[in-house]
Structure 1
Amino acid sequence: MNRRELSRAYPQTLLVTGRQWRRLADRVAERHGLSEATALPLVMIARSGNAARQHALAEAMGIEGPSLMRPLDRCEKAGLVVRAVDPGDRRAKVLGLALEGERFVAGMEIELDRSRAAMFGDVDPDEPRASLRVFRTVRDFAARAAAAAPGMREAAV
């Protein structure tokens, strides 16, 4: 595959792979009674050390802050998430997991760990490291391009 073909195939494969992983994660979340869109914030809160500001959480998820409001409201209403005043900035809220949210994430992570172990079982550890560097390069380029031309939508593939 030449460089041009590779540069076309890479984002397309990345897009399809991301969708496939989301479907897998959605099935795992559904077995625990939630959608992937509602479960992902819980997993990300747990991975943040169980204390995340909403803006930082949205940024880590690659979405706009307002898009996170509805899923967080549902999680809070279900007793999975707690919002507390940030002691460093009383205007801000810190998100944490309630006990039931911690249980949910623990169950999901067990299933997702099994999937990841199977997925990467025969893969040399250096390959995911290299692809992660490329993913981050693509992510950073896309963020810079979006900042340079707000309102413009980039082609997906």
Structure 2
Amino acid sequence: MKLKQFGITFLSVCIVAFSGMKAAEAASFSVIADGLNNPRGLTFGPDGSLYVTEAGTGGKGACVPSPSVANQSLCYGTTGAVTKIGNGTQERILTGLPSLALPDGTDTSGPQDIKFDATGKPYIAIGYGSNPTFRATLGNTDLGK
């Protein structure tokens, strides 16, 4: 009896395997934007364009201790941005936003996301990836707002 069940199971597997099932195909991708500095959030705007927040690469301004890399500092700059992608074009539409990063431009905080309200007004969340007690060291910035 067990041999009969095995035979039926084996035959079923063979039929499924050879019944014209397509092998999985690799997906194809197209690059729609490049040259972004630490891209973060993506949102489609009311105009149908894709908006990308870029956390930037920090800068040569005041520095605070990095919470994630021992004995390193995150330094302030205004390299954060928002890029608009639509109709086959890519354009930075907002620049000069606050950014914190290690000297090599990694471990970045800055513009994290963008959303639009019902009237089409954009709102940008700007991160601050360090101990809040050091915020005053950076001066009056929009980090963490």
Q: TM-score range by the shorter chain?
A: under 0.3
Instruction: Decide which structure has greater strand share.
Output: 2
Instruction: Decide which structure has greater helix share.
Output: 1
